[in-house]
Structure 1
Amino acid sequence: METIVNAKAGDKDALSRLWCILNPGLVRYLTSLGCKFSEDIASESWISLSKVLPRFQGELSSLQGLLFQIARARLYDQLRKDYRRPKQLLMVVDDQNSFRKNNYHSGPEASLDESSSQTLEWLSQIPTTQAEVVSLRVIVGLSHYEISQIIGKSEGAVRILFFRGLENLEKVVIGEKKSMLQKKFFSSA
């Protein structure tokens, strides 16, 4: 709590401590949603948070919820903006940023191991809202209540989305494992 009070007063060290605590989870969350520019959106979110921080009242979990709400709004703003862009321009942007897919950069995404990449692939195969809730609950570790505040749904709806997301994720994983076994079995025959 003292760190938040100091950050509100403009203490750069306190703000830096908050960034160290919250930013890795924020970037993982954005990455889990398939965001190509997760670090950029996280940075924009911190800038927006810094503007409202002096008026903020609450504890660290509330601040984390606010930061994730801001990031989610920034992500949707970016998606709307990309949707309105001509497709030819989008292809150029994707080409310029294709290095991100090949891990030729540093940062939190560069440390994704094979199992993390596989998890993100599986999450991309379930409905978006379910994937978002599962990511916030499992990857970031937020409570159902905190997630409900971020995505603007009731706590009960978040619980249902979480359990349906887990069920769908299980189907995806089992289906993939079954497919791998069939390929292995039929290719060796």
Structure 2
Amino acid sequence: MGQGGEPRRVRAHDGELGAAVARAQDGDEPAFAVAYRLVQPGLLGYLRGLVGDDAEDVASDAWLEIARDLGRFRGDGAGFRGWTATIARHRALDHLRRTRARPRPAALEPDVLDLPGPHDTYDQALESITTERALALVRELPRDQAEAVLLRVVVGLDGPAAARVLGKRPGAVRTAAYRGLGQLARRLGAEDGPGDGTQGAEES
């Protein structure tokens, strides 16, 4: 059974993350380092999908704000991931406004393929978005689909949490993520070339 798209590998650390955040709020600097280690990979992947090569700089700005406002956070580990994603998104949008840039698609490489073809399931596609090349493909999606995929898959937020970050209804975010993953699977299936005999099946 699918788990609504939330990556198990991220969810498994929520207890540890929540405990680290609570200690960090009491002034425990090593605990803040633990929280950073658990959150930064997903946060950086999300920002790469929004601002590309400037992700590290934007993440640094976001973490300065996170550290400054940590005492005001209330919630558990999953809530902390949503809170940090919201801050990171605001810093990314500020950056895009300053530079008047749009997320630019990266060139496809012929060996990109850790994502499944169109016949594979949604959950399998979710589990496969782990590489820099896959993130580059996500950046080619329409903006609403790219952000939904990044928040659900890379950051590991559930539907309601991703919806709060984006200011949308959970159903709209789930639909956008599903459609985005479907587009990725079809694109990568085409890169794989003919093999399952379904080419042209949808043309009538």
Q: Percent identity?
A: 33
Moved over 4 A (4+): none
Matched residue, 1:82: 99
Is the contact made by 1:34 and 1:124 (CA closer than 8 Å) also made in structure 2?
Answer: no
Where structure 2 has 5 or more consecutive residues not aligned to the other structure, the ranges are 1-17, 107-111, 115-130, 195-204
* 2:35 corresponds to which of 8, 13, 18: 18
Where structure 1 has 5 or more consecutive residues not aligned to the other structure, the ranges are 85-100, 102-112, 180-189
Is the contact made by 2:160 and 2:170 (CA closer than 8 Å) also made in structure 1?
Answer: yes
SS of the equivalent of 1:175 reads helix
TM-score between the two structures when normalised by the length of structure 1: 0.72
Larger helix percent: 1
Is the contact made by 1:45 and 1:70 (CA closer than 8 Å) also made in structure 2?
Answer: yes
Matched residue, 1:187: none
SS of the equivalent of 1:13 reads helix
Paired with 1:117 and 1:3, the residues of 2 have a C-alpha distance of 28
Paired with 2:35 and 2:152, the residues of 1 have a C-alpha distance of 20
Matched residue, 1:48: 65
* 2:182 corresponds to which of 167, 172, 181: 167
Paired with 2:19 and 2:188, the residues of 1 have a C-alpha distance of 43
* 1:73 corresponds to which of 90, 96, 100: 90
Matched residue, 1:31: 48
TM-score between the two structures when normalised by the length of structure 2: 0.67
Paired with 1:16 and 1:117, the residues of 2 have a C-alpha distance of 24
Give the total of aligned pairs.
Answer: 152
Taking only aligned residues, the RMSD between alpha carbons, in angstroms, comes to 2.3
Equivalent residue letter for 1:135: L
Equivalent residue letter for 1:13: P
Matched residue, 1:176: 191
Matched residue, 1:59: 76
